[in-house]
Amino acid sequence: MFKRDRYLRQLAAITSITMVAGCGVLSSDSSDDDRPIVVGTTSAPSTLDPAAAWDSSWELMRNVFQTLLNYDPGASEPAPDAAESCEFTDTATTVYSCKLREGLKFADGHDLNAQAVKYSIDRIKKINVNGGPAGLLGSLSRIQVKGDREVVFHLNEPDATFPFVLSTPAMSIVDPEEYPADKLRDDGEISGSGPYNLSSYDDGKQAELVRNDNYKGIADRKNNGVTIRYFQQSSEMVDALRNKKIDVIYRGLPASATVDIQENGQDEGLQLIENPTTEISYLVFNPKDPWAKRPEVRKAVAQVIDRPTLAHKVYKDTVEPLYSMIPRGLVGHTTSFFDSFGDPNKAKAKKILTDAGITQKVPLTLWYTSDRYGSQTKPAFQEIKRQLEASGLFTVTLKSRPWKTYVEGYRNGEYPVFGRGWFPDFADADNFVAPFVGQQNALGTPYDAPEITGKLLPESRRKSDRGAVAEEFEEAQKIFMEDARLLPLWQGKQFVAANEEIAGAEKSIDPATMMTMWTLSWKTSW
């Protein structure tokens, strides 16, 4: 159905590469041990309702909700999950039809039918949360239901990426009897049909997942339950792993611990799994701020930032400098910011400002989240502050909030400059451009880019061969560079640390860098 480019094939091929410090992995097809596996992460949900989620909340939702399409371990293309089959039924890629599996039920026993699918996706657009997943549905015109098992999506323009949108946890199927059509659910409960039920939830602290016996779908569960513990501090999480209070670290592993476990994990009975990903980190400039709205200020920041020093000094080379919003490994990746600004240069930055009549030090307030991306975020922003102030051109104030309130802040336009990470919704260049532009986007900060939204994205989405879209996305990168509204910093890797008794961690990270908890198991032989 889709022709994936050779770069994506290469990316998919390396996502299963592992680096293991310690014993070799010996696993069985199922676990004989009923102990729940305990996973630690610094990435707590900001919401439990898919209609509001375009962030780390997806990581829980992937395991408790079901989508029409999902990913088999190691795959780069989505396959049917709640659906039995899906396909474009026209040559223009404007009509997409899915037929559901027979006998689907929600965990509470209610029937999951085509009407529930339509209801779930319609309510995303109706509720229309600012910075929420309605921004993924710009090409969707209407949804048609045919009987109990067929759902037909009519698009207002050709969109070869639409199947990938349907695979995201934002498109989770919810029980119409439990979720209001016109507002978010706010009782702290989840009613899904995914591999697990959420048996208990302590906001910001812990989620208990147990096997959903009603589940029919793509997940081949290797365990009967998982406990997710949410940590505010990476150091506490690493201590918990070393003291065997948790079994796996999924997100938030600090660079120093990554290097240490890689080198010395065997002595501690730990293993480290490296998953090359397209995760990126970047700065966002708010056009409502009197200084951040000025292109000259943004370009002067771009001229000063020293990415290699940031990657080496703070992240211990566990990340790589990035000069394009589209990461390496995807069609459309360029080095546009390096091509334009080159190496860090204070004199060039000063000229950019003085040519615009700015002779005073520019005051900037930079915001970051104190927990979402792990303990390295604070020293990273301290290093950015040091670099900017060392130029003599800026005075920088740093501020932070926990992720849950941080999200509210950037959606309300409170931050002059703020840091974000992006874990792809799907492995396509479209997902590193479309979510950031337009009046409603994932940043909660309008970015009017008519050349991108009106021409380049529609042209690229007409092409089912995703290897043929380089020209459109290279041009989009030039526009990003010229506007400097977004400033790419680094491209990362996803490291999973686990005790040596855990199997399946090398298969657990999907193309959107979310952990599929069902692949984890206890080793049953040595």
Tens of pLDDT, residues 314-364 = 999 999 999 999 999 999 999 999 999 999 999 999 999 999 999 999 999
What is residue 73's predicted lDDT score, i.e. its pLDDT? 82
Tens of pLDDT, residues 483-526 = 999 999 999 988 999 999 999 999 999 888 899 999 999 997 33
Weakest-pLDDT range from 118-122, 159-163, 223-227, 272-276? 272-276
Q: How large is the average pLDDT for residues 105-134? A: 96
- Tell me which H or E stretch contains 349: helix 346-355
Token match 């860090």: residue? 344
Q: Which two tokens stand for residue 392?
A: 């003599």
Percent of the chain residues past pLDDT 70, beyond the cut = 93
* Residues 485, 476: Cα–Cα separation, whole Å: 13
- For strand 69-70 and strand 37-41, is the pairing parallel, antiparallel, or unpaired? unpaired
Tens of pLDDT, residues 450-460 = 999 999 999 99
**Residue-by-residue DSSP string for 282-332:** EEEE-TTSTTTT-HHHHHHHHHH--HHHIIIIITTTSSEE--SSSPTTSTT
**Residue-level length of the chain:** 526
What is residue 242's predicted lDDT score, i.e. its pLDDT? 96
For residue 197, give the 3-state DSSP assignment.
strand
Token match 């779930």: residue? 120
For the chain, the 3-state helix, strand and coil shares in percent, each to the nearest 5, are 30, 25, 45
Close Cβ partners of 270 (under 8 Å, ≥ 6 residues apart): 21, 22, 241, 242, 261, 497, 498, 499, 500
Q: How large is the average pLDDT for residues 435-451? A: 92
pTM metric for this prediction: 0.85
* Confidence band for 372, pLDDT divided at 50, 70 and 90: confident
Residue 11 has pLDDT above 60, yes or no: no
What is residue 33's predicted lDDT score, i.e. its pLDDT? 58
Q: How large is the average pLDDT for residues 6-29? A: 37
* Residues 430, 458: Cα–Cα separation, whole Å: 10
Burial class of residue 421 in the structure, from the number of CB atoms within 10 Å of its CB (0-12 exposed, 13-18 middle, 19+ buried): buried
